[in-house]
Amino acid sequence: MAAPIRVQQQRLLLTQVYGTFEGTPVKPLPRDEAGLGSGRKSHQRRYLWTDAFGVVALVAQARSATTTAAHDAALQAAAALADETFETLGAPGALLGTHMTSWTTDDADYDAALALLAPNIGLRIGKSSANPSGKSDAGMDLDGQYFHYLDKALFASAVLAEEAGDDAGTRHALRAAAIILGVHKHFTVPGEGVHWKLNTDATPIRVL
């Protein structure tokens, strides 16, 4: 049975943005939409808000699939996008001198996961404009960390973990938990509230 038209249209849009589902590398976003990664991800361009919704949409494709093969292909594409996003935006940007890392091990042991956390943790937004010092601005021009972007990425991880189940789901869930444990204290100010934005190294922006 053919998938509903809305599901087919969604798949077409997703393949235009991310490439095909059949195990190929995740297509980088356009240069005017996202900045470059660094190190082994220096070819990649990811944007946290866009890709969080992309992961959720790919999981929706898996849930709407009419065959096991189509389900597995969409779920694999969702996992690949999540991995690329966490690894690219959890590492220093191409112009930054910070030392952020993301938890990308396959080890499902919780203590081992926490042991891998750097003092400054989280996920960059992925903006193409960045300060070489790793500091951001009080507005929305320079790269940094947004609370309302991180929550979308963590929600996407939860959705992906639920659909993947078993060991794969545990990996996605633990990675999200490690990000929360590492960055939450930097966003919150006891008795006052929450910073909506941080520098890329998770330090606060004075006027915020």
Q: What is the pLDDT of residue 102?
A: 43
Q: Is-contact 44 94, C-beta < 8 A?
A: no
Q: What is the pLDDT of residue 7?
A: 86
3-state secondary structure the chain: CCCCHHHHHHHHHHHHHHCCCCCCCCCCCCCCCCCECCHHHCCCECCHHHHHHHHHHHHHHHHHCCCHHHHHHHHHHHHHHHHHHHHHHCCCCCCCCCCCECCCCCCCCHHHHHHCCCCCECCCCCCCCCCCCCCCCCCCCCCCEEHHHHHHHHHHHHHHHHHHCHHHHHHHHHHHHHHHHHHHHHHEECCCEECCEECCCCCECCCC
Q: What is the pLDDT of residue 75?
A: 95
Q: What is the pLDDT of residue 1?
A: 64
Q: What is the pLDDT of residue 132?
A: 74
Q: What is the pLDDT of residue 23?
A: 61
For residues 34 and 87, give the distance between their C-alpha atoms in angstroms, rounded to a whole number.
15
Residue with tokens 């356009």: 30
Q: What is the pLDDT of residue 135?
A: 85
Among candidates 203, 183, 87, 36, which has minimal Cα distance to 136? 203
pLDDT beneath 50, residues of the chain: 93-110, 112-120
Global confidence as pTM: 0.85
Number of other residues whose CB lies within 10 A of the CB of residue 51: 28
Q: What is the pLDDT of residue 105?
A: 42
